[in-house]
Amino acid sequence: MKTLAEPTFENIEQLKTIKNDLKRFMMGYKFAIDEVNTKLNILKEEFQYIHEYNPIEHISSRVKTPESILKKLKRKNCELSLDSIKENIKDIAGIRITCSFISDVYKVSEMIKNQKDITVIECKDYIKNAKPNGYQSLHLIIKIPVFMTDRVEHTYVEIQIRTIAMDFWASLEHKIYYKFNKEIPKRLTTELKEAAMSAMELDKKMERLHEEVKMIKSTENSTEHLMDYSINEKLSLLINS
């Protein structure tokens, strides 16, 4: 198998040869993101209508650049071809979903998994099992059909679902990671881990408050329903007397 070494004249010429195919290849990932975003917007609006509540705070998406794809191919020591890219790099298309509460993360995950035309290839739960550095998120690798003019492309999309607190921590950690050229001083690593634990506790506390509010609201609704029933019953007795 021909592996990807340092960029050479031969590599460059090879890339030029597949340039037109690469453009269409990359379009497939953009269309896959459009498909998933459409599904998420439908689920979000329907959930809001049924439950008067929206579990999704924010959705963002991106498609890896060709440069980033080539670097990852090199790290994985894979062949330089479109087929190799498709099979070995499953996060070219990426979607990040931010939720308010941990329970919402799993609700959204289940709604995605229940879509008939989505195949879940992999699920990594870094919420129940956080990474050693403290990182938390739920990762799904899915495959979704993209209907082109002359064929159907079954395309991989990586979906990351996390809370606002998790997203804030991950964004800060990412900035520090690259600021120190991936070699973070031990003191900062320790503090980041402590911050991750604090974010975890905050998420748990907010979840408890959220559940308490739901219970109070449910009790109030039940009381109002009983009061309405009592008033209607009295009116009925007055009318029929």
Which residue reads 């804030």 in tokens? 168
More confident residue, 22 or 32: 32
d(CA 108, CA 195): 26
pLDDT (tens digit per residue) in 86-123: 999 999 999 999 999 999 999 999 999 999 999 999 99
pLDDT for residue 2: 47
Q: How confident is the model at residue 234 (pLDDT cuts 50, 70, 90)?
A: low
Q: Which of 158, 173, 201, 212 is catalytic?
A: 158
d(CA 106, CA 89): 25
pLDDT for residue 232: 59
Q: Is 158 a residue of the active site?
A: yes
For residue 40, the tally of other CB atoms under 10 A from its CB is: 20
Q: Which residues are registered as beta bridge partners of 163?
A: 99
User: In terms of CATH architecture, what is 9-216?
Assistant: 2-Layer Sandwich (3.30)
pLDDT (tens digit per residue) in 124-162: 999 999 999 999 999 999 999 999 999 999 999 999 999
pLDDT (tens digit per residue) in 43-86: 999 999 998 889 999 999 999 988 888 888 889 998 888 888 99
